[in-house]
Structure 1
Amino acid sequence: MASLYLRPWLSVTKCMKTVSRQVVRSISTSQHEPVPLETVEDWTRFQETRAGYKMLVEHFEQYGSTQNKGNTFQPYHSLHKPLAPTQTTLSALIASGAHFGHSKTLMNPNFVPYAYGVRAGITIIDLDHTLPLLRRAANLVRAIASKDGSIVFVGTRPDLRNVVRRAAERIGSQAYHVGERWLPGTLTNKVQFFGSQEVTEQRMTPDLMIFLNPISNMNAIAECAIEHVPTIGVIDSNVDPRIVMYPIPANDESVRTAELIAGVLSVAGREGAALGAAERKVQADKEAKDIYGRQRTRERGNRVDIG
């Protein structure tokens, strides 16, 4: 049955070899007006043609490429389908441009341990340091999320607003994002900002803050230091790595680098949130069993007393 439908296609393919290239081009690009299916014969012919084309594709599929849109890299994957911390590689960091620093004349002296060298006057960041530090930061985010801690992503450039928003949404209700200007005093003057009642009833100080552009948010970093809030920051070659607790040396002006780092950290946070929810569920079940066991023991004791 398959050969019955494949034979006309194969014969057409064989005849096409003798046609000139210009004719083939006109044939392949010609557009035919759709013919309405008015009768049962038209519908049957349409179904046979489609089935024959499908068999032809399935027959020659084994000789073609196995790459498709789903198993190859796409530019939007770093934002919508980020890598897990264990899947992040040096190749992914290089592809995102994380190794490009600033001019060597702008390099901060404290950044020297994270510099690989200079190329064409540009500082090259040593990604052999970046990858383990990124995984260390991911472990921190996972641990805080598993303990029901709150995490804040800060990226105040216009091109980073969508990045921090998607990262916070990926973790869930434990994460927040700041895409506009950081208001000075948000952490140190909570009572003036939110009111004494809100500060008393709710937890206003986050457990971790992640900065994608730390130079523009030095006020927020200073407030985190005053309030003893751990900080993670993407540190470029012109930045002092000591301004944050957990530096990640990388290009802080590349949107793709920001998408990669924020995506890896948000995936780790999502894993931690899932682990924490599972642990709390097990603990709640255990407490419920203990309460039920104590009630049964008390009921047995009451029966014995009555007897």
Structure 2
Amino acid sequence: MAVVSMRQLLEAGVHFGHQTRRWNPKMKRFIFSERNGIYIIDIQQSIGMLEQAYGFVRDSVAKGGTILFVGTKKQAQEAVEQQAQRVGMPYVNYRWLGGMLTNFETIKTRLVRLRELEAMEAEGTTELLPKKEVLSLQRERGKLERNLGGIRGMTKPPSAIWVVDTVKEHIAVNEANRLGIPVVAVVDTNCDPDVIDYIIPGNDDAIRSGALLTRIIADACAEGYVRRASRSADDVVAEQAAAAAAAAQAPAAPTKPAAEPLAEWEIALQQEEAARHAAQAGGVSAPEQGHASEKPGEAQVVQQAQADAAAEQADTGAAEPPADTPPSGPGSADEAAREAVATPGDADNPDTPVTPEQR
């Protein structure tokens, strides 16, 4: 479906070019004929190229891009501002400041200053300042608003720019070419088409012509927004479907066989091991833990057995004297004396007392 009809272009005067004495020979391939000293642009080519530009802008916005609308001539100022605001795109319709693209970091500092002045006025801070200083701030804010108000929300260079009258906006076109930013523009018979990426042959001087073409580009931005939103929803659905498919294709985790129930003695052994570990962790030795874990009945049996063994040992010791006990009798003294005399080393020791028997 065509984005615009030939009747609409003819009614807006898009087919009128400049005078024959004011033309660029590079535009010859887009000229249909000459009438009363004015070139007539080939509308058939304009429709085809407009559709190409429409598709490019739509796809750029659908991918998250931004289109900068540029038109500072009086015939295009109002249309550029209205259509850009309608689709939420940045625009420049008062004056193109040198470096708006190539020196964008400096432009961002001026945007910060503009927001500061707006915040001061909104908070009422200017009411506390002297009247002369307030007037100076108001003039500064007005100047920044005229020059940079349309790009207040732009945080990075645009994905493409839409230009009305490339001769007047040659600085913007040169900066875009230097940065590799695509340029979509309406090109009249006095313009150079070689510096434009997406050419739309047409009249850039008539108000209705510029307004119609700018509205078509804005419609492309609006359609791009719709596609971006639908693409985001489709991406979410696709991700969910892919996750579900991956989960279905993934091998099931092997299930562990059910453990057999433990016997009573195994349960008792585990309890004893747990009690021993707990006692060791609490500072109690294993033997003490073992005695503490004995049942009262078992302790009494053990004590009774120990007492019986001790009594039996005592009875046996009383009946049989120990073998080491020396024999008692009349000859025991003589034997002791002989052992004392026979002990070596006593005679040599002067401190050793001498018994009468030894003398």
In the TM superposition, residue 296 of structure 1 has moved relative to its aligned partner by 10
The residue number in structure 1 matching 2:107 is 193
Ranges in structure 1 where 5+ consecutive residues have no aligned partner: 1-84
Listed one character per residue, the Cα deviations across residues 262-299 of structure 1 (whole Å, up to 9, x for unaligned) are 1112112211210121011121233356568889999x
Indicate whether 1:136 and 2:88 are aligned.
no
Q: How does 1:68-87 map to 2 (within 5 A)?
A: 86-87=2-3
Query: Structure 2: how far apart are the matches of 1:186 and 1:296?
Result: 53
In the TM superposition, residue 141 of structure 1 has moved relative to its aligned partner by 0.7
CA contact (8 A) 2:102 2:179 kept: yes
In the TM superposition, residue 192 of structure 1 has moved relative to its aligned partner by 2.2
Indicate whether 1:269 and 2:185 are aligned.
no
In the TM superposition, residue 105 of structure 1 has moved relative to its aligned partner by 0.7
Query: What SS does the aligned partner of 2:167 have?
Result: helix
Indicate whether 1:229 and 2:161 are aligned.
no
The residue number in structure 2 matching 1:93 is 9
The residue number in structure 1 matching 2:83 is 167
The residue number in structure 2 matching 1:51 is none
Compute the RMSD of aligned alpha carbons: 2.7
Query: Structure 1: how far apart are the matches of 2:257 and 2:244?
Result: 21
Query: Structure 2: how far apart are the matches of 1:100 and 1:270?
Result: 28
In the TM superposition, residue 186 of structure 1 has moved relative to its aligned partner by 1.0
Listed one character per residue, the Cα deviations across residues 9-52 of structure 1 (whole Å, up to 9, x for unaligned) are xxxxxxxxxxxxxxxxxxxxxxxxxxxxxxxxxxxxxxxxxxxx
Q: Partner amino acid for 1:93?
A: L
Quickly say closer, same or farther: Cα 1:287–1:235, change in 2 above 3 A: same
The residue number in structure 2 matching 1:116 is 32
Indicate whether 1:280 and 2:232 are aligned.
yes
Query: Structure 1: how far apart are the matches of 2:257 and 2:161?
Result: 61
The residue number in structure 2 matching 1:106 is 22
The residue number in structure 1 matching 2:157 is 205
Query: Structure 2: how far apart are the matches of 1:306 and 1:107?
Result: 89
Which of structure 1's runs of 4+ aligned residues deviate more than 6 A? 292-298
Query: Structure 2: how far apart are the matches of 1:296 and 1:306?
Result: 24
In the TM superposition, residue 134 of structure 1 has moved relative to its aligned partner by 0.7
Q: Partner amino acid for 2:95?
A: R
Quickly say closer, same or farther: Cα 1:163–1:295, change in 2 above 3 A: same
The residue number in structure 2 matching 1:218 is 170
CA contact (8 A) 2:80 2:93 kept: yes
Q: Partner amino acid for 1:109?
A: P
The residue number in structure 1 matching 2:191 is 239
CA contact (8 A) 1:114 1:129 kept: yes
Query: Structure 2: how far apart are the matches of 1:113 and 1:292?
Result: 56
CA contact (8 A) 2:3 2:51 kept: no
Query: What SS does the aligned partner of 1:259 have?
Result: helix
Q: Partner amino acid for 1:281?
A: A
Q: Partner amino acid for 2:202?
A: A
The alignment-based identity, stated in percent, is: 27
* Aligned equivalent of 2:96, options 182, 196, 205: 182
Query: What SS does the aligned partner of 1:248 have?
Result: strand
CA contact (8 A) 2:3 2:216 kept: no
Query: Structure 1: how far apart are the matches of 2:256 and 2:210?
Result: 70
Query: What SS does the aligned partner of 1:106 have?
Result: coil
Query: Structure 2: how far apart are the matches of 1:102 and 1:240?
Result: 13
Query: Structure 1: how far apart are the matches of 2:105 and 2:6?
Result: 45
TM-score normalized by the length of structure 1:
0.63
Query: What SS does the aligned partner of 2:190 have?
Result: coil
Q: Which moved more, 1:223-232 or 1:120-129?
A: 120-129
Query: What SS does the aligned partner of 1:261 have?
Result: helix
In the TM superposition, residue 301 of structure 1 has moved relative to its aligned partner by 5.6
Query: Structure 1: how far apart are the matches of 2:186 and 2:207?
Result: 12
In the TM superposition, residue 306 of structure 1 has moved relative to its aligned partner by 11
Indicate whether 1:152 and 2:68 are aligned.
yes
Query: What SS does the aligned partner of 1:232 have?
Result: strand
Query: Structure 2: how far apart are the matches of 1:110 and 1:101?
Result: 14
Task: State the aligned residue count.
Answer: 215
In the TM superposition, residue 249 of structure 1 has moved relative to its aligned partner by 0.9
TM-score normalized by the length of structure 2:
0.55
